[in-house]
Amino acid sequence: MRLKKPIIAIAAAGALALTACGGGDDGGERESGTDVNQDDAGNTGDFTDPEREGPVEIEGAKEGGTVKVISQAGLNTMDPTEAYYQNTWSMLANLVTRSLTQMVYDEEQDAMVLVPDLATDLGTPNDDYTEWTFTLREGVKYENGEEVTPEDIAFGLQRSMDREQFPEGPSYSNEYFLGGDEYGGPYSDPKGEFEAVEINGMDITIKMAKPFPDMPYWGTFPAMGPIPEGPESDPAKYRLHPLATGPYMFGEYTPEKSLTLVRNPEWDPATDPGRTQYPDEYVMEFDVQSAQIDEIMINDQGEAQTTISYDDVLAEDYREMEETGRLAVGTFPLTSYWAPDYRKITDIRIRQALAWAYPYADADLAGGYIEGVTSVPATSLMPPGTPGRTDFNPVEGHEPHSTDPEKARELLEEAGEVGYEISWLYAKDDPLSVDVKDVVQAALKEAGFTPKPVATTVADFSTLRSDPDTDVNVRSGGWIADWPSGATWFPPVLGCTEVDKGVVGANYSIFCEQEIEDEITRIQTLPLEEQPDAWGALDEKIMTEYLPLFGIRYGGVAQMYGSKIEGYHIDNTIGMPTWKNIWVNE
């Protein structure tokens, strides 16, 4: 999952301020009343409800009102097949486009629950998870009155295979669906055969190339929703106005500037176990400056009372915003880490020394993170709340989020590499990036390394980082799980890629060990109940035996809403608001 801005550098430790903060001591100046509950962060693994039915009613909620949304980032693409950024994904999935399944917020448990959406339940697998059957609900209509048919779902699935037409979209269909490695999608491979889907009446059977126990989670993606085949769904048009099956449909849309969502009269609440339609409209404005957003939300005057922003509050305004009581904090499954280049830094002691030397608390402060809120101390790769995660310490004796330059120097002496050169990228035209660079440089020098930071610009950062030939030996990275499972962590972050062809993907450590590859494949064929623990064990094994990367912080969000907005909680699987619960209290 990508963050709001199209630069993963945002999540990257030491680049820009947005995610994760560090624990550690403080001068005791503030009550940490809004500290996040870290144990349940991103926890939905055990929360499913296949029986849930619509309509949804929120006690005391009133219909009406316009919710204004302001944010700094624009929308990348609103085509459901390609939407893969936090903001676009979240808006489509919760308000506009329905899919096979969906996530809903459970207020009692303060957690997300997986429930059916267009399917009548959470799907029925065969024994080894190579086939999944979903039964489509009857009576669901698009915004234009047409009925949603199983063929539409099949076409949506078919479309999700087209990587050429939708290069930025999620690629789970290609990885798991039958024929995924060959079939190129309806636009790029019109003569190809799409073999993965079979329709029997209202039943849709999806065939997999390999076991895919997480299909119900993949089913929450807008890419797994219905799309009518034909000229209506031409990608050039569709990204500007996808057909709505949810409670809201597109009104006016100016990409990068504004979007208005209005009521969809064809949406029937009785068919929807998760969504609501309380506000009349959502009026969204993008490209608003962060400082201005904070100003508007803190003052809460006029229109601001019915406004929300899913941007994080700036560190300088955190104190003031928290006092207003209109700050929603929560975690989300982001791990920011430093990834030493596994091909270049081959001695594990040097990587461990880096983990000892890195100035976690200082980097958090310099980067504008708020301890306990937008930054949580990190240990394992999988963040808290991921099923099967265990609490272990990758580097023996190292207190998470603490820095000990002496210990680092000891390790370097042991390895005979005192003065080892470390080079990493930073963005010269971003003041926060420069400050973090200064902090890290001072800490590494103290620990006995020779720091050699490499200057680049915000615009070039991602490109250089994704190039395996860039002359750096450490890359900073961040990854958000697409759903709570180890399957969305290890294959993308630590699975082998075609490095000789210049492909790094999200594997910034350029780590590749056959033993681990085999283990990943093995776990994916295990019975569903055994998988979480197996992933947890793999996490511990990789981190303690190999340490290809070390966590700098886990993610957290601190988002703002006006005084007349009710039901604003944090969806901790993605770090966005619980749109389905929002209503306006005029």
Partner 1 sequence: MSLGNAENLELEREDIVHEDATAQKEVAGKSPVRIAMGRLIHDRVAVACMVILLLLLLLGLFAPLINSALDIHADFESPDAPRPSDVLASDTYPKIGPPYEPFTWDHPLGIAPKIGYDNLAVLLLGLRTSLLVATLATVFSTIVGVTLGLVAGYARGWVDSALSFFIDFFLSFPFILGALALAPIITTRFGGEESTLKNAELLGLVGVLVFFGWMGLARLVRGQVLSLREREFVQAAQVIGVPTWKILFKEILPNLVAPIVVATSLALPAYVAAEAGLSFLGIGLSEWPSLGRTINQALNYYDSYPLYLWAPVVTVMVLVVALNLLGDSVRDAFDPKTRR
| Interface residues toward partner 1, by CB under 8 A | 24, 26-27, 29-30, 291, 294, 314-320, 359, 361-362, 365-368, 370-372, 428-432, 434-435, 438-439, 441-443, 452-457, 459-460, 471
Cβ atoms of residues 257 and 287 within 8 Å:
yes
| Closest CB to partner 1 among residues 29, 57 | 29
| Closest CB to partner 1 among residues 9, 443 | 443
DSSP state of 264: -
How far apart are CB 499 and partner 1 at their closest, in Å? 22
| Closest CB to partner 1 among residues 37, 585 | 37
| Closest CB to partner 1 among residues 223, 560 | 560
In 213-289, which ranges are continuous DSSP H helix?
A: 215-218, 235-238
How far is residue 551's CA from residue 366's CA, in Å, rounded to a whole number? Answer: 17
Apex CA 212: angle with CA 192 and CA 5, to 5°?
80
How far does Cα 490 stand from its chain's mean position? 15
How far is residue 512's CA from residue 134's CA, in Å, rounded to a whole number? Answer: 37
How far apart are CB 480 and partner 1 at their closest, in Å? 24
φ/ψ of residue 390, rounded to 5: -115, 155
How far apart are CB 344 and partner 1 at their closest, in Å? 16
| Closest CB to partner 1 among residues 75, 313 | 313
| Closest CB to partner 1 among residues 299, 525 | 299
| Closest CB to partner 1 among residues 78, 321 | 321
| Residues in Cβ contact with 269 at an 8 Å cutoff, skipping those fewer than 6 apart | 54, 55, 56, 247, 275, 276, 277
How far apart are CB 290 and partner 1 at their closest, in Å? 8
How far apart are CB 577 and partner 1 at their closest, in Å? 23
How far is residue 154's CA from residue 268's CA, in Å, rounded to a whole number? Answer: 22
Question: What is the dihedral sign for C-alpha 482, 484, 487, 493?
Answer: positive
| Closest CB to partner 1 among residues 211, 405 | 405
How far apart are CB 400 and partner 1 at their closest, in Å? 15
Tokens describing residue 320:
């003031």
| Closest CB to partner 1 among residues 196, 298 | 298
Which of helix, strand or coil describes residue 337? Answer: strand
How far apart are CB 27 and partner 1 at their closest, in Å? 5
Apex CA 71: angle with CA 264 and CA 318, to 5°?
130
| Closest CB to partner 1 among residues 116, 359 | 359
How far is residue 534's CA from residue 429's CA, in Å, rounded to a whole number? Answer: 43
Cβ atoms of residues 382 and 536 within 8 Å:
yes
How far apart are CB 470 and partner 1 at their closest, in Å? 11
Which of helix, strand or coil describes residue 347? Answer: coil
Distances (CA, A) of 462 to 223, 264, 458: 25, 39, 8
Going by their DSSP bridges, the two strands 111-116 and 450-451 should be labelled as: unpaired
Which of helix, strand or coil describes residue 259? Answer: strand
| Closest CB to partner 1 among residues 311, 571 | 311
φ/ψ of residue 152, rounded to 5: -65, -45
Angle of helix 348-357 relative to helix 431-446, nearest 10 degrees, comes to 120
**Residue linked to tokens 């979007």:** 259
Residue 312: Cβ within 10 Å count: 27
How far apart are CB 336 and partner 1 at their closest, in Å? 17
Residue 426 pairs in a beta bridge with 455
How far apart are CB 297 and partner 1 at their closest, in Å? 14
How far apart are CB 32 and partner 1 at their closest, in Å? 8
